[in-house]
Chains A and B, each alone.
Chain A
Amino acid sequence: MKRAVSASLLGLLPGSALALQWNLTEGVTEISREVYGLHMLIFGLCVVIGIGVFGVMFYSVFMHRKSKGAKPANFHESMTVEVIWTVIPFVILIGMAIPAAGTLIKMEDASDADMTVKITGYQWMWEYEYLDSGVHFYSRLDAEADRARQTGSGADVAAIDNYLLEVDNRVVLPVGKKIRFLLTAHDVLHAWYVPDLAVKKDAVPGFVREIWTKIDEPGIYRGQCAELCGRDHGFMPIVVEALPQDEYDQWVASQTGGATTDVPADMEAEATDAAEQQVAMASDAEPEAEQADAADSAPAEMGKDELMAAGEKAYKTNCSVCHKDTGQGMPPAFPSLVGSAVVGGEPAAQIQQVINGKNAMPPFGHLSDTDIAAVITYTRNSWGNDSGVVQPADVAAQR
């Protein structure tokens, strides 16, 4: 901890490893550069007005002092100056409102998009569905940062690359294409925020919001959830990887199992349908359980010890924040697993709940069959629970 403090204080000195970013990013889209221009324009105006007003005030504060023998003047009103300092700011505001309105109207026009990505916010991860190519995955905080960020982990977070700004699966996007995002949420409000794209939009459960971007330069652009969404609000980053078109196509091919995907001509229409469906689905917008790991396609029978060991690890990563290492949870929000009816009952019900989530519990369908089987076995055989072993095949059967 000491080391981090001194390193950080050293950051004040020039030449430190970590350059401080003082200003808004210019970003990598036409819109983000316009936004930056507006930001600098209004900031400049504020500085000029501020220098004028504070200059007069501090001149007065230093010169018109009783201790310097200043005698108070008698004036106390003037219609003329009141009109002047009402009208001039008004004119300046109009000068600012016009370019701002132009940019705003552009930002809100998501028509004629080349492709559409549907983004769904969860407590606490993002789901991405590429409506044109069918690519679909979840994206959450990477495991190393997730371990380090636990209270009292004692980890040296400065040693972790992109601490809290790295994910397991990045959103890969092509440059030079107008990309439309359809935003929604599964549980509570989230906001998808990537400063370099000048994109920030709330994800509202039961509704679809639209926003777009067109990235100019290949690169990796990082952002975070910007709307308070509960305990792990600070731990659901967004990482956009912008690639040239050919590399992007390769990536899509690798995601869809090598086969060139047929994109139906009426995909655009389907995308809209999907969006509207989402409105109707609202609370039961359960994600399709996708198998994250191809190696799991033929689940093998596993021993109890093996499952328990893997389960403990998976539990600590995914479950213990709410249900606690003791399994006792934090009732009533996060129920205890000790002697729980679900954990002691039919395995199928528990598997379903882990895959699909329930109330405050997010879905964990993105975990592999092995991990889910392991973690369920772990909960069924820990803290005095004794309700048998669940095999990966049992999980696969419930998908």
Chain B
Amino acid sequence: MSSAVDHHDDHHGPVTLKDGFGKWVMRWISTTNHKDLGTLYLWFAFIMFFVGGAMALVIRAELFEPGMQFVQPEFFNQMTAMHALVMIFGAVMPAFVGLANWMIPMMIGCSDLALPRVNNWGFWILPFAFTILLSTLFVPGGAPAAGWTMYPPLSLQTSNAFPMLIFSVHLMGISSITGAINVVVTILNMRAPGMTLLKMPLFVWTWLITAYLLIATMPVLAGAVTMLLTDKYFGTSFFSASGGGDPVMFQHIFWFFGHPEVYILILPAFGIVSTIIPTFARKTLFGYDSMVYATASIAFLSFIVWAHHMFTAGMPVAAELFFMFSTMLIAVPTGVKVFNWVATMWRGSMTFETPMLFAVAFVFLFTIGGFSGLMLAIAPVDFQYHDTYFVVAHFHYVLVPGAVFAIMGGVYYWLPKWTGVMYNEKLGKLHFWLTAIFVNVTFFPMHFSGLAGMPRRIPDYAVQFADFNMWSSIGAFGFGFAQLIFLWVVVQSCLKKGEAATSRVWEGAHGLEWTVPSPAPYHTFEEPPMIADAEITAVHDEPAKA
């Protein structure tokens, strides 16, 4: 560290282990620094990724061959429900919040998030929420087993775990809302002078839109699960026909939250990929404005398509037609994004470091998930696909080589900026190739088992599905163990083992985060930076010089 900003660290730098273990622990508990909290979020997400992954491996072990070998059906159901809850709320969402924490202030040129104490609170809710959720595995009656969607009346059969599930979902919701409010307030109020909205990096844009989705939908989820709670314990009948309610109403409310939720899980990924591809193509992002409008269109449409998750639940035919058409419309802005990424690569000068590999794989594999999504939108055919492994293949394609690949690409991309050292590129590439191969071995055969008629969420299956399931299980274990390489690479970087990184890190990188030293000082942009247009990803008048 040798730049002029470093003197700040002398008087209010972070407490390190050298100052004593207790002080060091207290630093992390009490920190309001966006970089510290970003780190905490990312490590929390990483741990949950392994916890949820272990559950997935229990599922895949049982499904390796037909017959029940290892677990009881009820435990299998607990695993499917918990795997989804942990991965969605514990891994992917916190990982995006962690990236937002680290990068948004550095991208828009402000010193921290607008509400640092709220930020601390938002993070520290999560360990409690997941302690409650995971401890249900040890209560009488076991963990929630009615799927992450918690459809009543089945979810009301959950025993002691039920209130713990509801309260942990409430806590996760509070955490998400605090994070989202912080992002919105920061972006709208704290941009450096000259950073107009349409000059913001795409990652900031996608997060701004994501934050609005979170604020709009998390209270809906909280309402839905609260109604479950009162149905079970306080004699209400929101979802019970015997009291004048309707179980299907839960599904409408849940998916009014749930569909925007799936875009919450993918929009920031779009932002990351839109950041990585121009860097390694050494070319400005194609169609910046249309990327912003496409993201906003997707967000808007996400509120009017929810019932495509429940075509088989029974609806008037007019409603089915409406939800089919509106769902198909989403293909248009999503297509625009894919075309723009390809046009950005076209006639670039590309290199394929690990972040770029993940980004290119994202475009390829996410699009495959998009295609199967389009197929699922066609209601009459959805009657065949619904609740089969075809759906499982679809959403894992958009969530694993979609959201998770973008997160991994983002981590490799910004890791040198965070730690100050280059990660091990060879191991990074090895991690990529193993991950990319095994993710397809795992999830591609699920398209076939689904088309052949295998229902999802079953612990045992008819013998004709055996081959596809065996491939999926082999792929899943390969995928799981490949992630240990990722863990190793990240830990090595955090231990500062590796070549020192320059402040620019990547030859083609643009944006304010690359104007500060690597590792980024504990406090950045305490004075708003002067913005050179060439530094901003979206340059309308003057293309960035490579």
Contact = CB atoms under 8 A, between A and B. Distances in A.
Interface stretch (B188-196, B276-284, B489-497): B276-284
B154 A42 contact: no
A363 interface: no
A234 B458 contact: yes
* Residue among A35, A226, A332 facing the most chain B CB atoms (10 A cut-off): A226
B455 interface: yes
A100 B383 CA distance: 12
B31 interface: no
Interface stretch (A55-63, A111-119, A343-351): A55-63
A198 B458 CA distance: 20
B421 to A, nearest CB: 24
Contact of A82 (B290, B352, B461, B467): B290
A201 B19 CA distance: 64
B46 interface: no
B235 interface: no
Interface stretch (B33-41, B261-269, B323-331, B519-527): B323-331
Interface string A130-165: 000000000000000000111111010110001111
A125 B241 CA distance: 21
A104 B321 contact: yes
A158 B388 CA distance: 22
Interface string B510-546: 0000000000000000000000000000010001001
Contacts of B32: none
Contact of A204 (B67, B313, B388, B451): B313
Interface stretch (A8-16, A287-295, A373-381, A386-394): A8-16
A249 B432 CA distance: 63
A12 B380 CA distance: 32
Contact of B381 (A12, A38, A61): A38
Interface stretch (A70-78, A257-265, A307-315): A70-78
A97 B328 CA distance: 8
Contact of B141 (A73, A165, A223, A332): A332
Interface stretch (A83-91, A267-275, A298-306): A83-91
Contacts of A172: none
Contact of B328 (A50, A65, A96, A233): A96
Contacts of B345: 57, 60-61, 64
B407 to A, nearest CB: 21
Contact of A70 (B325, B348, B387): B348
B379 interface: yes
A61 B140 contact: no
A283 B241 CA distance: 8
Interface stretch (B49-57, B107-115, B368-376): B368-376
A103 interface: yes
Interface string B329-367: 101100110110011111111111000000010011001
B324 A152 contact: no
A178 interface: no
B153 A189 contact: yes
B522 to A, nearest CB: 35
Interface string A1-24: 100110011011000001011111
A39 B284 CA distance: 39
Contact of A333 (B65, B159, B310, B451): B159
B342 A226 contact: no
A230 interface: yes
Interface stretch (B143-151, B164-172, B412-420): B143-151
Contacts of A206: 240-242, 246-247
Contacts of A74: 283-284, 543
B288 interface: yes
A8 B281 CA distance: 45
A394 to B, nearest CB: 31
A42 B378 contact: yes
A20 B467 contact: yes
A64 B347 contact: yes
A155 B66 CA distance: 10
B22 interface: no
B70 interface: yes
B452 A331 contact: no
B457 interface: yes
A177 interface: no
Nearest to B507: A66
Contacts, number: 332
A77 B288 contact: yes
Interface in B127-178: 140-142, 145-147, 151, 153-154, 157, 159-160
Given A85-B339, A153-B67, A164-B462, A11 B157 contact: no
A163 B463 contact: yes
Interface string B219-245: 000000000000000000000111000
Interface in B285-325: 285-290, 310, 312-314, 317, 320-321, 324-325
B73 interface: yes
B259 interface: no
B499 interface: no
Contact of A234 (B281, B284, B367, B455): B455
B77 A38 contact: no
B273 to A, nearest CB: 13
B460 interface: yes
Contacts of A53: 338-339, 342, 367
A110 B285 CA distance: 52
16 contacts: A21-B451, A35-B380, A35-B383, A53-B367, A66-B351, A70-B350, A75-B347, A85-B336, A97-B324, A101-B321, A158-B66, A165-B462, A204-B241, A205-B241, A207-B248, A330-B74
Interface of B: 65-74, 77, 140-142, 145-147, 151, 153-154, 157, 159-160, 240-242, 246-248, 281-290, 310, 312-314, 317, 320-321, 324-325, 328-329, 331-332, 335-336, 338-339, 342-352, 360, 363-364, 367-368, 371-372, 374-375, 378-381, 383-384, 386-388, 448, 451-453, 455, 457-464, 466-468, 470, 539, 543, 546
Given A22-B452, A46-B374, A77-B287, 6 more contacts: A66-B351, A74-B284, A86-B336, A100-B381, A228-B457, A331-B141
Give the 6 A-B residue pairs with the shortest CB-CB distance, closest first.
A206-B241, A234-B458, A76-B284, A283-B242, A73-B347, A46-B371
